[in-house]
Amino acid sequence: MKRIGILTSGGDAPGMNACIRAAVRTALAHDLAVVGIRRGYAGLVTGDAVPLDRGAIRNIIHLGGTVLETSRNPDFYTEEGRRRAAEAIDRMGLDGIVLIGGEGTFHGASLLAAENDTAALVGVPGSIDNDVYGTDYCIGFDTAANCAVQAIDRIRDTARSHERLFFIEVMGRTAGFLALESGIAGGAEELVIPEEDLSIARISERIGAGFTIGKKSAIVVVAEGKTPGISFEIAKEVSERLDFDSRVVVLGHLQRGGPPTLRDRVLGSLLGAAAVEALLEGRSGCMVGEVGGDLACTPLEETWQKKKPLNENLRRIFLFLSE
């Protein structure tokens, strides 16, 4: 192992820069040459890479987003695109690549490795949705969850002042981690998450029960699911059932930006170093994560083939914490 590349792919997540920084410094400490592959798989296909030294990663640990930039590249979804990526890896003389991203990133990496004799590949989970199997938490989740909690706190002030029902929509296309944890931390009255069937009747009944015991406002946290903006439809139906004024706030990409929290900086640093160490140990086709406070390596195929479950204890306690 003499020369490695680092790329960030898919949606950006706060803490990716901390991960890049740690991976570069760990590689340099072991006398490895490092290049940064720009714009994720789009840059990998074209061989768009820049040298990374200590100067290149100085003063980036506190920055959101990714200094290497990212993308979702249609070419890489094709076998021809992946063949071109393998050829570019060979031209760049890479012995290993650290891939920072989510399910889609690791799915693509699995196909690249299966179809081509290429460099060693080690993944690092970066996703504000926190939906990657093989790690308790993904880089970016803590920052996004704190953003959502701050929004809930602010909205609660105006909800109470105007005696209104508010629906706050957070990200979470296929998983309700953000909605569940921010809902508990923000004291929400109800949740809408992909893991549970949507029931307008149940939501209306639970909120209505709160009004009968003296509540004058309420917060519902909604995971966007496969249809961002679904909160408007839900709010309309619940408001009509309860005959109560409601408003909708869609946080959207606000949750992705901003400086990473302490937790995401530390997690990014830990996993960035672990990914390079895994390459040095001769590992490939795996993702480094943190499970139960310990580092763990999970086969790339499992990271996107297996469904990561919500914390059942958190789901259980939400029911009576929200009453």
Tokens linked to 119 = 């460099």
Above pLDDT 70, what percent of the chain? 100
Tell me the mean pLDDT in the region 210-216. Answer: 86
pLDDT (0 to 100) of residue 141: 97
Residues that are catalytic:
129
The fold of 3-140+260-305 is Rossmann fold (3.40.50)
Task: Check pLDDT > 90 for residue 213.
Answer: no
Amino acid at 289: G
Return mean pLDDT, the chain.
Answer: 94
pLDDT (0 to 100) of residue 271: 98
CATH 3.40.50.450 residue window(s) in the chain: 3-140+260-305
pLDDT (0 to 100) of residue 133: 97
The fold of 142-256 is Rossmann fold (3.40.50)
Q: pLDDT tens digits, residue range 116-131?
A: 999 999 999 999 999 9
Q: Name the band, by pLDDT with cuts 50, 70 and 90, for residue 153.
A: very high
Task: Check pLDDT > 90 for residue 226.
Answer: no
Tell me the mean pLDDT in the region 168-192. Answer: 95
CATH 3.40.50.460 residue window(s) in the chain: 142-256
Q: pLDDT tens digits, residue range 39-59?
A: 999 999 999 999 999 999 999
pLDDT (0 to 100) of residue 139: 98
Q: Give the burial class of 45: count Cβ atoms within 10 A of its Cβ; 0-12 exposed, 13-18 middle, 19 or more buried.
A: buried
Task: Check pLDDT > 80 for residue 322.
Answer: no
pLDDT (0 to 100) of residue 319: 85
pLDDT (0 to 100) of residue 264: 98
What's the whole-model pTM score? 0.94
Euclidean distance between CA atoms 75 and 68, whole angstroms = 19
How far CA 103 is from CA of 54, 114, 312, 319, in Å, comes to 30, 17, 22, 30
pLDDT (0 to 100) of residue 225: 86
Beta-strand (E) ranges in the chain? 3-8, 33-37, 49-51, 96-101, 120-125, 165-170, 190-192, 218-223, 246-250, 286-291, 294-299
pLDDT (0 to 100) of residue 86: 96
Task: Check pLDDT > 80 for residue 323.
Answer: no
pLDDT (0 to 100) of residue 212: 85
Task: Check pLDDT > 90 for residue 234.
Answer: yes
Please enumerate in sequence order all residues whose Cβ is within 8 A of that of 193, keeping only pairs 6 or more positions apart, or say none: 172, 175, 176, 179, 180, 223, 310
